[in-house]
Amino acid sequence: MKTRNNGEWTDARFHSFIVSGLRALHMKWSPKTRCINKARVRRGVYKCEHCKQEGAATLPPKKGNKKRVKNILADHINPCVCPTTGFVDWNTFIDRLFVEEDGYQALCSACHDKKTAEEREIRKRNKK
């Protein structure tokens, strides 16, 4: 096992650190922004590509929070980490994270949550 950060971090902690940094950069990725902009119907209203429903851009804050919750998300059509094969290598992860506009779909939070839960179930089954 390779030591990271003077032996203070495990490989899993290092992996998490790198993924977190890459996802922060991904927030500024313009094809992702264009995907959301294309889903805009009018000011503050977006259309989900899955359920075809129009909805507000944000939802009221969850209990105990002050910040509104995004209701339209740019979802990777092909997940960054394949649910069946898992993490392959950094190059594959980066290539799948930073896709062009046609690699995204604008989903409402309900559809995104459902898709994410399905992918999580596939991952769980494949871990066993």
pLDDT tens track for 29-69: 999 999 999 999 999 999 999 999 999 999 999 888 889 98
The Cα–Cα gap between 48 and 36 comes to 10
Say if residue 2's pLDDT is above 80: no
- Sequence-distant (6+) residues with CB within 8 A of 31 are 99, 100, 101, 103, 104
Which pLDDT band, with edges at 50, 70 and 90, does 1 fall under? low
**Tokens 């990777």, located at residue:** 76
What does pLDDT average to over the chain?
Answer: 93
pTM: 0.86
